């Protein structure tokens, strides 16, 4: 299968096993403020439910040359990491024990091993945020500084627990990608594969729910 076909198979699998997840392709992680010394990676599929999950695809036409670096970064920025590889790569794989494995053979995809859930750091969650999102979401919190992204991160880490930052981040990412995720699901269900995957459009006036207006279960104990 080609990479696009594998993405569709992953989405179909997740629509059944994780019905309430927000699923989007090609999301950049570990790109800290354009730091040219930190090589960014782009998740083939990002899945958002109670955790952040990443799926990395290696089709028959790919190589494994970049996989060690990619997995290292994904482990830093996701609670669950899985690889989806063509069967020709199975004997060549060398992965951490926590990484899940799916194999593609012909037109079929099979799960060989489930990923292990793990916690990641406050820093890793906050790297997903954009500067404007910090300002809009944490508006009204006097101890949160917005002079720069780094200062915003540091003040948020000091003000909130890991559990709270994870909850805020998951809510924000779902909010950011929900419309795109729903469109992709609709196209897959209608088998309009030639329209996949739509170009990501970022709203000029980004809608960001303030922490004070998030559902009670997310902000319980914060306000």
Render pLDDT for 193-213 as a digit per residue (tens, 0 to 9): 999 998 887 766 789 999 989
pLDDT of residue 198: 80
Among 86, 113, 140, residue at a domain's last position: 113
pLDDT of residue 32: 60
User: Which residues are 42's β-sheet partners?
Assistant: 28
Do 83 and 129 have their domain in common?
no
Among 78, 113, 148, residue at a domain's last position: 113
Do 14 and 101 have their domain in common?
yes
Do 55 and 106 have their domain in common?
yes
* 134-151 mean pLDDT: 89
Structural domain of 62: 3-113
What is the count of structural domains for the chain? 2
Among 81, 113, 145, residue at a domain's last position: 113
Tell whether pTM > 0.75.
yes
* 110-132 mean pLDDT: 96
User: Which residues are 187's β-sheet partners?
Assistant: none
DSSP character string of 94-126: ---TT-EEEEEETTEEEEEEPPPP----HHHHH
Backbone angles phi, psi at 208, to 5 degrees: -125, 120
According to DSSP, residue 18 is labeled S
Nearest residue to 138 via CA among 192, 212, 37: 212
Structure tokens at 184: 């992709």
Do 99 and 128 have their domain in common?
no
Measured distance CA(95)–CA(112) in Å, rounded? 13
């Amino acid at each position: 299968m080609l990479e696009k076909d594998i993405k569709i198979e992953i989405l179909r699998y997740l629509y059944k096993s994780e019905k309430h997840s927000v699923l989007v392709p090609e999301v950049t992680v570990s790109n800290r403020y354009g730091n040219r010394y930190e090589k960014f990676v782009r998740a083939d599929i990002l899945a958002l439910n109670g955790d952040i999950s990443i799926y990395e695809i290696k089709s028959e036409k790919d190589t494994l040359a970049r996989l060690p670096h990619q997995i290292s970064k994904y482990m830093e920025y996701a609670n669950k990491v899985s690889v989806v590889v063509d069967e020709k790569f199975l004997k060549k794989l060398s992965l951490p024990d926590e990484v899940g494995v799916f194999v593609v053979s012909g037109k079929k995809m099979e799960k060989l091993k489930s990923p292990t859930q793990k916690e990641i750091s406050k820093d890793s969650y906050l790297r997903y945020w954009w500067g404007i999102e910090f300002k809009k979401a944490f508006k009204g919190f006097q101890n949160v500084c917005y002079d720069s992204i780094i200062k915003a991160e540091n003040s948020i880490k000091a003000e909130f627990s890991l559990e709270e930052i994870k909850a805020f981040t998951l809510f924000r990412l779902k909010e950011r990608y929900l419309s795109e995720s729903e469109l992709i699901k609709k196209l897959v269900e209608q088998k309009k594969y030639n329209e996949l995957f739509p170009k990501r459009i970022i709203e000029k006036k980004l809608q960001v729910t303030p922490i004070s207006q998030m559902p009670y279960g997310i902000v319980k104990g914060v306000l």
